[in-house]
Amino acid sequence: MLTAPTRYNKFYERKGTAWFEINTLNFSQEDAHKVFNVEHADDSVDIVCKVLDNEVKALGDSRRIFIGGFSAGGSLASHAWKAYKKPLGGLVLYSATSFRALETAKEQENSSVFWAHGLDDCLVPYKHCFYNNKALEDGKRRFVHIKRDGLGHGVDRVVELETKRFLEDIMGLSKL
Partner 1 sequence: MNPMSNSIYDVTQEGTTITLSPKGQTARQTLVFLPGWAESAATWAPYFLKGKSTPRVIFL
Which one of residues 67, 116, 144, 146 is an interface residue with partner 1 (CB under 8 A)? 67
Provide, rounded to whole angstroms, the least separation between the CB of residue 169 and partner 1. 11
Extended beta strands in 79-142, E state: 90-94, 112-118
Q: Does 129 bind partner 1 (CB under 8 A)?
A: no
83 φψ region: left (φ > 0), alpha (ψ -120 to 50), beta (else): alpha
Nearer to partner 1, 92 or 136 (CB): 92
* H-run or E-run covering 47: helix 38-59
Q: What are phi and psi of 139, to 5 degrees?
A: 85, -15
Site string for partner 1, 1-20 (x = CB under 8 A): xxxx----x--x---xxxx-
Nearer to partner 1, 151 or 155 (CB): 155
Task: Judge whether 126 and 119 are in contact, CB under 8 Å.
Answer: yes
Nearer to partner 1, 77 or 136 (CB): 77
CA distance linking residue 145 with residue 73, whole number of Å: 18
Binding site for partner 1 (CB under 8 A): 1-4, 9, 12, 16-19, 22, 47-48, 51-52, 55, 58-59, 64-74, 76-77, 89, 92, 95, 155, 160-161, 163-164, 167, 170-171, 173, 176
